[in-house]
Amino acid sequence: MYTFQVTAEEDVAKAIALVKDKFGKLDVAVNCAGIGVAFKTYNFNKKTAHSLDDFARVLKVSKRAATEAFNCGPTLIIISQNI
């Protein structure tokens, strides 16, 4: 099993390189990383909103992970297909 941080460009690049080294090519890149917080956007009972840090963390993983994967993945797919 391999683990890496999907929000770190270097880790994503290492994962793509691992695929290239192990399999020689990458046919498809799929991003399925995402997180959520188990809080309402605004809690009327506590009269408070969820923290901006939680919101930023959700965006970092959900949005940035997709960007990192699709910045690195297509290059290897194109190389694999000799395009």
Comparing 17-21, 45-49, 60-64, 79-83, the range with the smallest average pLDDT is: 79-83
DSSP code for 75: H
- Helix (H) or strand (E) holding 19, with range, is helix 9-23
48 strand-pairing partners: 43
Q: Is residue 76 part of a domain?
A: yes
Q: What is the mean pLDDT of residues 6-32?
A: 79
- Full domain range(s) for residue 33: 9-80
Q: Is residue 4 part of a domain?
A: no
Residues making up the chain, counted from first to last: 83
Split into its structural domains, the chain has a count of 1
φ/ψ of 74, rounded to 5, equals: -60, -30
pLDDT at 83: 47
State whether the Cα torsion 13-14-15-18 is positive or negative: positive
State pTM to two decimals: 0.55
Residue recorded with tokens 């956007």: 41
Q: Is residue 53 part of a domain?
A: yes
Q: Is residue 3 part of a domain?
A: no
Indicate the pLDDT class of residue 77, thresholds 50, 70 and 90. low
- Summarised one tens digit per residue, pLDDT across range 47-63 is 888 888 888 888 877 77
